[in-house]
Structure formats: C-alpha cells, structure tokens
A and B are shown apart, each in its own frame.
Chain A
Amino acid sequence: MITEKLKLQPEVLEAVVIRFVGDSGDGMQLTGTQFSDTSAMFGNDIATFPNYPSEIRAPQGSLYGVSGFQVHIGSVEVSTPGDNLDLLVAMNPAGLKTNLYALKPGHTIIVDTDAFNKKNLEKAQYDTNPLEDHSLDNYRVIQVDMTSLTKEALKNVEGLDNKAITRSKNMFALGMVYWMYGRAKEHTIDFFNKKFKTKPHLIESNTKVLNAGYYFAETLELIPNAYTISPAKMPSGTYRVIMGNTATAWGFLAAAEKSGLELFLGSYPITPATDILHEMVKHKHFGVKAFQAEDEIAGIASAIGAAFAGDLAITTTSGPGLALKGEALGLAMIMELPLVVVNVQRGGPSTGLPTKTEQSDLMQAMYGRNGESPVIVIAASTPANCFNFAFQAAKLALEHMTPVILLTDGYIANGSAPWKIQSMEELPEIKNNITKTAYENWQPYTRNEDTLARNWGIPGTPGLEHRIGGLEKDSVTGNVNQAPENHEKMTKIRAEKVKRVQNYIPEIKTEFADSGDLLVVGWGGTYGSLHSAVKQVNLEGYKNIGFAHFNYINPLPKNTEALFKRFKKILVCELNNGQFVNILRMNFNGFEFLQFNKIQGLPFGNNELLDEFKKLVK
C-alpha cells in the first residue's frame, strides 16, 4: 500500500513549496486554499498561485483538464508562490504527468493509486504505469489508495452517494499534508461547519475524511513528521489572508469611506476580474452601489454617469473589456471626471489566455484611445498591495480630476498572501474638488493652480448648472469650442495635469544596491519573482545588483532618470514582448535598456531570472 523509494532525512526547513493537482472537479483549489489559510494563521508567510484550465469542467482525466494550486509557506519572507516543488500531491496520472517537471529531485510525491487505472493512464498518455516502471526512482513516492480509504472512512455515513464520497478524497490528501507539516486541522473543520451549515451530513463526511487522512499519516508512521516550519518574522500587527481581487475591492471601500463619497461600481463579468464585482456586491451594508451592466461599455458608461453625479466611480475589467471601454474612457478623460478603471490583465491578444497571467495591456492602458488622451496609469505588485493601489487610484482620480487605470494581473489577483490590516486611521486623507455652493463666476473648467484639477460641480447643486461632453471644450466655461488655439491649449493642459501627478507620488527606490553593475527593473505583478531572484543572486555573492520595481507608470517617478544613471546595465523584465521597456526608451535617451521577456501565460521562474542576471554580470 505504501512504498518509500528513498529514505527521508528529517529536515528543518525555512520554506516549502507544495502543489496540489488533480482534475478540475477534484477540489484542488479548495484544498490549496485551506492549506495556505491554515499556514498563514499558524504564522507562516505565504504566497499562492492557483493554475486552472479555462474550461469549467474539462473532460475527466485529460491532460488539459488538470487544475493545480501551489502554495509557498515559510518561516522567512516569501514573495512568490515558489519555483520548484518540495511536495507534489497528484490525484491522477494527468496531474502527475503535467507537473512532475517542477518537483525537485529526491523530493516527495503523494499519489492516489486508485486513480492510476488503465483508463486514466491512457488519458494521460502514459504507455506504462509510472508507479511501476521505475521512472520515478529519483523521487520519494508515497502511494496511497486514497479513494478506497475515503470510501472506507465513510461507509457508515448516511445520505452520501458514490459521487459525494469520491469527491471528498481531496480532504484525505489535505489531512495527510496537515500532519506532515504539523498543521492543526481545526481551521478547516470550522470551515466545514460554516460552509455546510444546512447539510450536517457533509460536515460529518468531510471531517471524517480529513481526520482519516491525518491519522493515517500519523499512525502508520511511514511518513515521518520531519518538516518543521516555524512562524515567519513578519512586522507585528493584525493580519489576515487576502486575495488580490478582494484587496482591490477593499481598497475602494476604504477610499469611499475616507473621501466621504458613495461608491459606485459599473461592471460586466470577465475573467479574471469578476471576483472584484463578486466582492463589491456583498457590501450593500456600506451603501455600495454595484451595477452589473449589459456589457463592458455600459459598465464604464454607468460609472461615468455616477462620477458626473458625484460618486466615487469604478469600473472593472480585463484586457478585451478595456478595448471595449476605450471610447468611453476618452470621454471621461476629456470631461475630466474622476474614474478608476481596473484592468486585471490576462494573456492576450483577443480572447487569448483568459485564465493565465500576462502584462501585455500596458500599451493599451497608455495609448488605447483615440486622440491625445493621457490618463494616470498605476500598477499593483502583490496580492496585498492591491489594497493600497486601489486606494491610491481612487485618491489620485478624485484629487486630480482624471481617469486612472489600475493594472493588476491574473497572478496577483487570484494569488493570496498575508495582509497586515490597515485600519482607516492609518490611511491618508482624500480631498476632492467638489464645489459645495455656487459663487459668482463659477466655471466648471476653472482649475486648481497646483494640480490643474477642474471644479467638480455636481447635479443637485443650485447655481452650478452646466453642460459637458465629448466635443472639445472651452478652457474656462466647458462650452463647445473647436477653435484651433483652444484645442491645442486644452490638449496641453490635459497632458500637463497628468504629468504634474509626479509631484504627488513617491520617488522610485532601489533594493539591494543603490548603484552598481546591474539594475533589474520590473513593474506590476512581477515584484515577487523579481525580488526573490535579485535577493538570491546577491546572497550568492554577486554584488552591486540593484532592483527597482515600478508601481507608477504614467507619470513615472521624478527621479527615474537619475536612478538609471547610477547603474552600468539596466535589464527590464516583463511578462510581455517588451512594453515598459519601450516606454522607458521613449522617455529616457542615452541608456541601453536590455530586456528579458516571458510570454507563456506564467510568472517568471526563479532559475530563468538567475541565469539571465548572472549572464549579464559575469
């Protein structure tokens, strides 16, 4: 029943990477989430990466139907979901086949042997059974008849059909992994109690299977409890585990409360942005007005209407949706209304790779509108700081009277990490440009001298009645004015307004080295991968390799050029074919910007980054 092909030496680890894989209906996302939440509550730092197919239920056992969830837990700072696996839990042959490449040699595989039958092996395109043909001799394989053991554990539970029994085998695997890493199972049992409140037989069955897996691992003593991962050294405070999309939604909730404005979301469902809508609709208790529109265009149109009427207005989407919103975004831009557009980037072009990550919408965010149409573009870089950048996007939109595009991506939006909860008291003030009462000669396009933000006159306010629209406007009254000089003047004012945001955003800082041989440059969701790779290359003895990660893209921080001058080489790493690097080339002369790009719908791997850095500094 259980074989151990390699003897395991007890180890104390700083960090461990585990991947749970199985059919898309096997509950791998749930299993992974439970393990990462439990670990976070234990005090580990965590980073997670769900990887699932775009088919909701792909044919059972097929290679392309494999769904996976990777979690990286550590007693040290963990900033990526990890590269190479310490443990692979494979619920079927297809999962093993498609994920074995990532497992470190000599490390552990747990398989459900019941799933390694002729049919599944054929579907996974195995000619021979890998559990028998010695192809796994370099790994420690723990073979468990998980399906049979699950059935056995549930034989006395009433009200379960065969399907329900089979489906709970993921909890058997989770129970085993809990025991192996010294995790308590109470968090998950609490979860069952809440989730299945009205279905007590499911509470009973899931708890039984979880316990069965846990005690199975313990009592057979064949799996030594050899891994200990102590709590991470994180700044003290109150934490919770948060997903990027939830953090984005909460950033807007906080911004609405801080600014004293009501929050409006106009949105249309699109992967991987929909979870922001799902989160916002829950919060009617805060008066959130979340409107699911008939399409992407109506999503942004309703948000523009709400912005005109004085709400903090948001619209959320992903790449193809941003393309549809382009014309309306230009309207918001020329009307100079505060509006936040969230683009949770996915692989493109067109429908592309809906469930995979990419950073290929940067140029679209910058230039995807007709005419001279600059908007503020900022990017979040971790699941937790989606909160801060959503808050900041709202603050910039309201204070500068302009649309702001907030870029996140599928990787950080679906990933989760510990978030040191920020209370309202810690967050900065948000001003706005609302004219509360009319005064003589009030004009909608009179501007704040510092920011160039125009007056925001809101319907319902007596004496401020005015008309705005998509036609070029007079620089004071906002009435239609298509005179040549006026158009040039207005175009330049709108550009200058966005440029002046430089005075209100932080300077870019370097990590690891402030000058030297190589500056690694990134932006947005790649922070975790780049940060760990630069950290590691420095630990390995390569000195003078600095790291600069951009969250502010348009405008760029003021000191960007000065920073670049302090390094001999600059390497811009992006998950696209080279977009940010071209923005830098356009803005800064006299530098040779090297580029490292990956366009596979996947985050950077640690090793490929290390290789590239080392090549450049040797």
Chain B
Amino acid sequence: MEAIVEKKYTYKDFESDQEVRWCPGCDDYVILRSMQKALPEMGVKKEEVVFVSGIGCSSRFPYYMNTYGMHSIHGRAPGIASGIKLANPKLSVWVMTGDGDAMAIGGNHFIHVLRRNIDLNIVLFNNEIYGLTKGQFSPTSVVGQKTKSSPYGNTQPPFNPGELALGANARFFARIGGNVPKDISQILVEAHKFKGTSLIEVLQNCVIFNDGCYNNITNKDVKEDKQIYLEHGKPMIFGKNRDKGLILNKLKLEVVTIGENGITEADILVHNAKEKDPTMHQMLVRLEYPVATGIIRSFDDVTLEEREDALTKQVKANSKFTKTNDLFFSGEIYMVN
C-alpha cells in the first residue's frame, strides 16, 4: 500500500482557469492573491472550500478560485452560504461581498447571519461606492460625496460596517487595508480558525470611481500614524515611533503620547478581542483617529450548527422513530377490510 501523503498546496492550486477581469490596479487583485496564499496555511482540502458571492465587482471572486463556488444573486449570499453550511458543516464556507451587496440590498440577511453565528466567513470589500453599476453612492459613501447618483453631493449618512455588525451581535470582526496582502492573509487564516461567523472588512480602493478614498489612512507613508493595528493581549500603541496610545477618559477613547504629561506604557489600554461585552469594541470601530484595524473582536460563542447538532442528537436519542414507516404507522391508525 502506498503511504498517504498529505498534499501541501501552494497558492497556484487555488487559481482557476478563468481570466481575472477586474480593472487594472484594483485592490480586489490583492484580496484574491491574499486568499490564494492564505488557503494553504489553513490546512483545508481544496474540495471542502466553497466561495459564495452575490452581485457586484467583489462578487466575481468565486470564478477565480479553483474550489467550489457560486456567484449568486444580489444580496443573498449569506442565505445561500447558510444553507450550504447547515447541509454540510464540514465545509469551509466563504461569503465574498461588497458594501452595496451586504448592507443595501442584502442588509437583512447580513444582520441575521451575524446574529445566528453560523461558522461562516464573510469578506466585505468596502470601497464606499457602487462599481459594477458605474459609480453611484453606496450605504458607506460619506455625506457630500459626489457620485453619478449624487452629482451635488451625497445626502445620505453612511453605515459604519463594524458598528452595524457589532450591533447585530457579530462575534468576530476585523478591519484591514486593501494594500497589505500579508496582513490580509493572516487575518483570513484567523477568521477561518474562528468558530462562528467572522466578518472581515477590507478597506478596498476603487481605482475608477472612488480612487484614493482611503489614501489618508492606508498609504504607506501615513498608515502607521493613522491606523492602530490591534492585537489581542497587546497594548493599544501606534505611530511611526510607537509613541502614541489609547486610554479611556471618562466614556471616550483618547489618544495620548507616551512620555508626555506623565503617560507611560503602563497607562495604555490592552486590547482584549475575546471580551464578551462589545462596548470597547464598539468604541474602537467608531474611532476616526486612529482608524482601528486588525482583529477588533473575536469572542468565542456557541455556533448555530453546534446547537442544532446537540438538539438533533438529543431528539434522536429520545425518539422511537428511526424510519418514516415508524411515523406513518404510529398513533391513531385503523384498518379497513
């Protein structure tokens, strides 16, 4: 007999034969390659991975992955992915979505999938614009933003995806720039490991319709000063010189400089992503300066499949029915001769 050899994948194993058709320079390429590189690290079999998407630029994603995949209809990917996962809990199921797909047309499914905590992973490509329909404002576009459907400026205030997700009781929320492939890969691996619904918001630049919308957060020369990359158990420190930090002042987070006004590293808050109470996580996702990135919340909770499975086992153990015939011929039956 041949020895069973565990196949070691590389990113090439996850490339499909389809030509990638996003605009040149789009951050979607970065996310695609980060995913292809993350998958070998996850230790899942190729045939046990399913990508599900709705409609939009991001939703072309499944075609480019050499796994199982479904490019479904606008906003409904969370429902479809839930069905796939409940049908076969062994699968690693990924929802690839955008700000319009997840939070406009699919808003209802988005909050309910988070509430239920099925072990799915959702990657939200947030470019604050509608790309595929060529440039209308989205539910994350900022007030005043000039788009094809708001030529004088957008009047609709936006959602903050993290705030919405935590409000819907998301157990795992991460945010990451669209230009840092290694960090994206690492977060994808963590999301895969997490048991429950994981939501990863990628700040994704749209080079055509909303170019540069995250420049002052994600550009290489500013990102260390403008972002705080959170890691569980580590102090909330940021800045090129690692001298800035967050403290809690009354009910607000405040940026302080270590070494000034008697502040030492010991005064800086330590990030606890695993805390059940989402109050601090809510404050972090709402921060405008610095913008919180990394894994902001990662609270371990029972998943829907675990609950369903336990209940099914219990019902099976107590039931006198194993075959449908047992049911059909049970209770009040009578003979006609």
**A residues whose Cβ falls under 8 Å from a Cβ of B:** 37, 40-41, 43, 187, 231, 234-241, 250, 253-254, 257, 262, 264, 266, 283-287, 289, 291, 293-295, 297-311, 313, 327-328, 331, 335, 420-424, 459-471, 479-480
15 pairs, A vs B, C-beta closer than 8 Å: A236-B337, A264-B87, A284-B311, A284-B315, A286-B321, A293-B112, A297-B76, A309-B88, A331-B72, A460-B48, A460-B88, A460-B90, A462-B46, A467-B62, A471-B71
Q: Is the CB of B324 within 8 A of A462?
A: no
Q: Chain B's nearest CB lies how many Å from the CB of A366?
A: 21
Q: Is the interface of A mostly helix, strand, loop or mixed?
A: mixed
Interface string of B42-79 (1 = CB under 8 A from A): 00011110111001000000110111111111001011
Also in contact, A424 and B323, with CB within 8 A (given A236-B337, A459-B47): yes
Also in contact, A298 and B109, with CB within 8 A (given A234-B336, A423-B328): yes
A sample of 13 more A-B contacts (CB under 8 A), given A257-B324, A470-B72, A479-B63, is A236-B335, A253-B327, A286-B322, A291-B82, A294-B109, A298-B79, A301-B82, A305-B52, A306-B83, A327-B73, A462-B46, A470-B55, A470-B71
Q: Which 3 A-B pairs have the closest CB atoms?
A: A305-B83, A469-B71, A301-B79
**B residues whose Cβ falls under 8 Å from a Cβ of A:** 16, 18, 45-48, 50-52, 55, 62-63, 65-73, 76, 78-88, 90-91, 108-109, 112, 308, 311-312, 315-316, 319, 321-325, 327-329, 331-337
**Chain A contacts of B48 at CB under 8 A?**
459-460
Q: Chain B's nearest CB lies how many Å from the CB of A173?
A: 22
**Chain A contacts of B333 at CB under 8 A?**
238-240, 421
Q: Is the CB of B324 within 8 A of A293?
A: no
Query: Which one, A254, A285, A328, A423, contacts B319 given CB within 8 A?
Result: A285
- Per the bound structure, the CA–CA distance linking A516 and B76 in Å amounts to 53
Residue of B45, B48, B336 contacting most chain A CB atoms (<10 Å): B336
Q: Is the CB of B329 within 8 A of A421?
A: yes
- Per the bound structure, the CA–CA distance linking A262 and B312 in Å amounts to 13
Also in contact, A460 and B47, with CB within 8 A (given A284-B316, A304-B80): yes
Q: Is the CB of A240 within 8 A of B331?
A: yes
Query: Which one, B83, B312, B322, contacts A309 given CB within 8 A?
Result: B83
Q: Is the CB of A302 within 8 A of B79?
A: yes
**Chain B contacts of A294 at CB under 8 A?**
108-109, 112
Q: Is the CB of B108 within 8 A of A295?
A: yes
Residue of B50, B87, B319, B329 contacting most chain A CB atoms (<10 Å): B87
Q: Chain A's nearest CB lies how many Å from the CB of B181?
A: 23
Query: Which one, A241, A291, A469, contacts B72 given CB within 8 A?
Result: A469
**Chain B contacts of A299 at CB under 8 A?**
79
Q: Is the CB of B336 within 8 A of A43?
A: yes
Residue of B nearest to A305 (CB): B83
Q: Is the CB of B46 within 8 A of A264?
A: no
**Chain A contacts of B325 at CB under 8 A?**
423-424
Also in contact, A284 and B336, with CB within 8 A (given A310-B87, A461-B47): no
Q: Chain A's nearest CB lies how many Å from the CB of B294?
A: 30
Also in contact, A241 and B332, with CB within 8 A (given A308-B80, A424-B324, A460-B47): yes
Q: Is the CB of A470 within 8 A of B87?
A: no
Residue of B nearest to A479 (CB): B18
Q: Is the CB of B67 within 8 A of A289?
A: no
Q: Is the CB of A264 within 8 A of B72?
A: no
Also in contact, A465 and B67, with CB within 8 A (given A239-B333, A240-B334, A421-B333): yes
Residue of A nearest to B62 (CB): A467
**Chain B contacts of A298 at CB under 8 A?**
76, 78-79, 82, 108-109, 112
- Per the bound structure, the CA–CA distance linking A460 and B45 in Å amounts to 9
**Chain A contacts of B70 at CB under 8 A?**
305, 308, 335, 467-469
**Chain B contacts of A289 at CB under 8 A?**
86-87, 308
- Per the bound structure, the CA–CA distance linking A13 and B322 in Å amounts to 43
- Per the bound structure, the CA–CA distance linking A231 and B334 in Å amounts to 12
Query: Which one, A234, A239, A254, A464, contacts B324 given CB within 8 A?
Result: A254
Residue of B nearest to A264 (CB): B87
